[in-house]
C-alpha cells in the first residue's frame, strides 16, 4: 500500500467507556475492514490503550493513542479529542482517575433518583453490568431495558436519564481551555469533536486562541454542507482535519466502524502538526 493511501478511523469507543465492544473486538474488526489506522478515544479514560497497542501489533493496525474529554466552553458542551497523548502522563492519569470516581458517585445518585421513581436497581448489579469500564448512563439504560422498565435504550434516556428528566444528574464540568492544556501537557493534539453538534464557530475561534489544533470534519452527524463549512474553516484558520465514525458498538444497528472513509493522509497531516508543535515547544522550552 502506498504512502497516504487507505482509510482510517480516528474516533472509536470501547467498553472502557460507553462502547459495547472490547478493544480486541474493535481492532480485529478494523483489520477485517481493511483500516490502516485506528484511534481509541474513550470518554475521559485511557485504560484501554495498552490493550489497543498490543492488539494493533497483532492485527497490523496502526494505533493512535487517544481520548475524548467532555468539556464546556461559554456554557456549551464541547468535546475535545486528544491524539498522540501519553496514557501514562501523571496529569492525565490523575484527571482520568478523578473522572472515574465522579462517574461512580454520579451513578449512585442516579440510582437513588430512580428509587424515588419506584425503580430499584442495586448498585452491585450496575457494577456487574459495567464490568471494568467507567460506569455511565448507557449501562443504567441497558439495565432499565433488561429489567423491563422501558422497551428501548432510547426510551430510558427520554423517560428518565436525559437532561430535565427525573433521574438526570449533571456531568462534571471541565473548561475547554483546561482540557486543551491537559492534552498538550500529555504530548498530544487537541481537536474539536463533531462541531456541528452544538459547537458554534465563535467557540471554535475562542479555542484556537487557546491552542486548538484541529477540527473533526468527517463525522456521521455531519451533513455535506457541514463538512464543506468545517473544511473551509480549517483551511482558513490553519487547523488540521480529523474524522471518524464515533463508533460505540452495534447497540442500534450495524457496527459503524470505518463508515466515514477517512483518508490516511488526514493522519499524516496530524503527525506533521504534532512534529511542528514538538519543535515549537522544544525551542520555547
Q: Give the alpha-carbon dihedral of 214, 216, 218, 223, to 10 degrees.
A: -120
Q: Is the pLDDT of residue 282 over 80?
A: no
Sign of CA dihedral 66, 190, 250, 225: negative
Give the per-residue pLDDT at 216. Answer: 98
- Does residue 138 lie in a domain region? yes
| Domain identity same for 157 and 20 | no
Give the per-residue pLDDT at 3. Answer: 60
- Does residue 1 lie in a domain region? no
- Does residue 58 lie in a domain region? yes
Give the per-residue pLDDT at 20. Answer: 81
CB atoms within 10 A of CB 237: 14
pLDDT tens for 6-27 read 999 999 999 888 888 899 999 9
| Domain identity same for 178 and 221 | yes
The enclosing domain of 41 has a CATH number of 3.20.20.140
The enclosing domain of 113 has a CATH number of 1.10.150
Give the per-residue pLDDT at 281. Answer: 62
- Does residue 245 lie in a domain region? yes
Q: How many domains does the chain have?
A: 2
| Domain identity same for 143 and 214 | no
Domain that holds residue 205: 7-95+174-284
| Domain identity same for 107 and 186 | no
Residue with cell 473522572: 99
Give the per-residue pLDDT at 133. Answer: 75
| Domain identity same for 230 and 142 | no
Instruction: Give the lowest-confidence range in 66-75, 89-98, 131-140, 267-276.
Output: 131-140
Read off the pLDDT band of 254 (50, 70, 90): low
Rounded CA-CA distance 246/234 in Å is: 20
CB atoms within 10 A of CB 89: 18
What average pLDDT score do residues 195-202 get? 96
| Domain identity same for 86 and 69 | yes
Per DSSP, helices labelled H in 17-122 are: 23-32, 49-59, 90-116
pLDDT tens for 138-188 read 899 999 999 999 999 999 999 999 999 999 999 888 999 999 999 999 999
| Domain identity same for 197 and 108 | no
pTM of the entire structure?
0.89
| Domain identity same for 197 and 272 | yes
Helix (H, G, I), strand (E, B) or coil at 78: strand
- Does residue 243 lie in a domain region? yes
Q: Is the pLDDT of residue 285 over 70?
A: no
Amino acid at each position: 500500500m502506498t504512502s497516504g493511501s487507505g482509510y482510517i478511523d480516528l474516533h472509536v469507543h470501547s467498553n472502557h467507556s460507553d462502547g459495547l465492544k472490547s478493544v480486541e473486538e474493535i481492532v480485529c474488526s478494523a483489520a477485517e475492514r481493511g483500516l490502516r489506522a485506528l484511534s481509541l478515544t474513550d470518554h475521559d479514560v485511557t485504560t484501554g490503550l495498552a490493550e489497543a497497542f498490543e492488539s494493533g501489533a497483532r492485527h497490523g493496525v496502526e494505533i493512535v493513542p487517544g481520548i475524548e474529554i467532555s468539556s464546556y466552553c461559554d456554557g456549551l458542551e464541547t468535546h475535545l479529542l486528544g491524539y498522540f497523548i501519553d496514557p501514562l502522563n501523571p496529569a492525565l492519569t490523575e484527571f482520568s482517575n478523578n473522572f472515574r470516581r465522579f462517574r461512580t458517585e454520579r451513578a449512585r445518585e442516579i440510582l437513588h433518583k430512580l428509587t424515588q421513581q419506584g425503580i430499584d436497581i442495586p448498585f452491585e448489579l450496575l457494577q456487574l453490568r459495567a464490568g471494568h469500564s467507567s460506569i455511565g448512563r448507557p449501562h443504567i439504560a441497558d439495565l432499565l431495558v433488561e429489567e423491563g422498565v422501558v422497551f428501548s435504550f432510547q426510551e430510558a434516556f427520554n423517560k428518565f436519564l436525559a437532561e430535565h428528566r427525573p433521574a438526570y444528574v449533571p456531568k462534571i464540568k471541565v473548561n475547554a481551555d483546561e482540557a486543551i492544556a491537559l492534552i498538550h501537557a500529555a504530548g498530544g493534539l487537541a481537536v474539536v469533536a463533531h462541531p456541528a453538534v452544538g459547537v458554534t464557530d465563535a467557540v471554535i475561534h475562542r479555542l484556537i486562541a487557546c491552542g486548538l489544533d484541529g477540527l473533526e470534519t468527517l463525522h456521521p452527524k455531519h451533513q455535506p454542507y457541514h463538512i464543506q463549512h468545517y473544511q473551509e474553516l480549517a483551511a482558513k484558520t490553519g487547523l488540521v482535519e480529523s474524522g471518524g465514525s464515533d463508533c460505540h458498538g452495534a447497540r442500534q444497528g450495524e457496527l459503524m466502524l470505518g463508515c466515514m472513509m477517512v483518508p490516511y493522509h488526514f493522519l499524516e497531516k496530524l503527525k506533521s502538526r504534532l512534529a511542528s508543535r514538538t519543535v515549537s515547544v522544544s525551542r520555547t522550552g
